[in-house]
Structure 1
């Protein structure tokens, strides 16, 4: 299998739009359990860990068999929470999988790990649909010819001027793999100006000269943001 990878699922109770979201029931099981069950299907991952600062999530996750690491409550992001876990669990690579993404394909995460090569950070891109182009909730990415990200944005990029030649348009799927040293460096940087303007954490890497390879995928991201999303996710899981 080569280098060892640990997959971390950050899960927090506090959410302005959906408090207690990780334990919300989806087709009779906690949302977090759906994510964990998919993640343990990854063949290139040595261990799957739930990282939380809440004892309710701790008890529930242990109840369905997950390994849980308690973390500080003052982390700004899931990446910071993952970095704390990485300090206790040495590995070559770490994968950050959000705890509200129950429809992920473990085979695609294996492919992300395999195809990141020596890149410090790897993530996914998929084809952007026309109706998504102007949607600020869909993050876009433009890449160089090798697939390395040039920029991430909520805006419709690249802009095609009248008479200009069309270019491939990509949406970003927010699952990340980090080399261990890259993770340590990343969380040591302060939030950058572009990151704060766009509210996109991945721009911190580009602002500090850290290359981010993007791997093409057909997998879509179906996160749960508000309680009303539960029915949509249940229908999706039933279909799959």
Structure 2
């Protein structure tokens, strides 16, 4: 089973333009992310896939493997799918380009899902983390996920799910972390399927997989990643490295 990591990397970002090229203790964010993925030793190959000449040259100069997107894409899955279409791989892990502090333990759990799936019944694996703060639960920027009793995703939403109608019933809420492991076939099916209605309504790409019948195994993690979405996040990441 050949397992690779793909790091989708766009230069533009609405909240923090050019964030992947910002300096993080002497290296850019994207180079730190690439090196962190390689250092996990979980993957046969690690690639950055980008639409930016600037990012392409940055990764290339750092000695990394980088691919240039040939088309415009609306989401990371599409960008990765184009890149892997002609590659001989079995499992593709999507590593977020703006998360340089990679949680190797959680990634290994995602990969183990496929190693144990001898019948090849699982199409994707992804991560969820329990949230208890009401502000986090109600925040539409936090995508929530509900699962069945076997931890397969039932639905993802920006709304509060499940709705706790009976206050005497204990309810747990889980945030979806946008880290995926795909079978290559499922990723290409996604790529060749137009955006689905619920996906369009919620703006959550994971919903498209559910709408076309794919099975998504959710793995619970307790690790909250340090993503870099704002200048403040970058400052916090710098402080974190100052103390490591």
**What is the rounded CA distance, in whole Å, between the counterparts of 2:91 and 2:216 in structure 1?**
14
Matched residue, 1:130 = 133
Give the length in aligned residue pairs.
Answer: 238
Structure 1 residue 4: Cα displacement? 1.1
Structure 1 residue 237: Cα displacement? 3.9
Contact map agreement 1:126 1:217 (CA 8 A) in 2: yes
Contact map agreement 2:127 2:220 (CA 8 A) in 1: yes
Matched residue, 1:186 = 190
Query: Is 1:115 paired with 2:113?
Result: yes
**What is the rounded CA distance, in whole Å, between the counterparts of 1:17 and 1:70 in structure 2?**
23
Matched residue, 1:209 = 213
Provide TM-score, normalisation by structure 1: 0.93
| Regions of 4+ moved over 3 Å | 236-240
More moved, 6-15 vs 224-233 = 224-233
**What is the rounded CA distance, in whole Å, between the counterparts of 2:26 and 2:58 in structure 1?**
14
Partner-residue secondary structure (3-state), 2:74: coil
**What is the rounded CA distance, in whole Å, between the counterparts of 2:200 and 2:224 in structure 1?**
25
Contact map agreement 1:97 1:176 (CA 8 A) in 2: yes
Contact map agreement 1:9 1:99 (CA 8 A) in 2: yes
Contact map agreement 1:191 1:204 (CA 8 A) in 2: yes
Give structure 2 stretches of 5+ with no counterpart: none
Structure 1 residue 238: Cα displacement? 4.1
**What is the rounded CA distance, in whole Å, between the counterparts of 2:235 and 2:47 in structure 1?**
27
**What is the rounded CA distance, in whole Å, between the counterparts of 1:156 and 1:196 in structure 2?**
18
Residue from 216, 221, 228 that aligns with 1:224: 228
Matched residue, 2:42 = 44
Q: Say if 1:238 and 1:150 are closer, same or farther in 2 by CA, change over 3 A.
A: farther
**What is the rounded CA distance, in whole Å, between the counterparts of 2:167 and 2:184 in structure 1?**
45
**What is the rounded CA distance, in whole Å, between the counterparts of 2:106 and 2:240 in structure 1?**
18
Partner-residue secondary structure (3-state), 1:60: helix
Residue from 86, 89, 92 that aligns with 1:88: 86
Provide TM-score, normalisation by structure 2: 0.91
Cα distance per residue 1:109-153 (max 9 Å; x no partner): 122111243310110011112231111111111100110001111
Residue from 129, 153, 159 that aligns with 2:157: 153
Matched residue, 2:240 = 236
Contact map agreement 1:33 1:64 (CA 8 A) in 2: yes
Contact map agreement 2:103 2:225 (CA 8 A) in 1: no
Partner-residue secondary structure (3-state), 1:40: helix
**What is the rounded CA distance, in whole Å, between the counterparts of 2:4 and 2:49 in structure 1?**
12
Contact map agreement 1:42 1:107 (CA 8 A) in 2: no
**What is the rounded CA distance, in whole Å, between the counterparts of 1:189 and 1:225 in structure 2?**
29
Matched residue, 2:9 = 11
RMSD between superposed Cα atoms in Å = 1.6
Contact map agreement 2:85 2:188 (CA 8 A) in 1: no
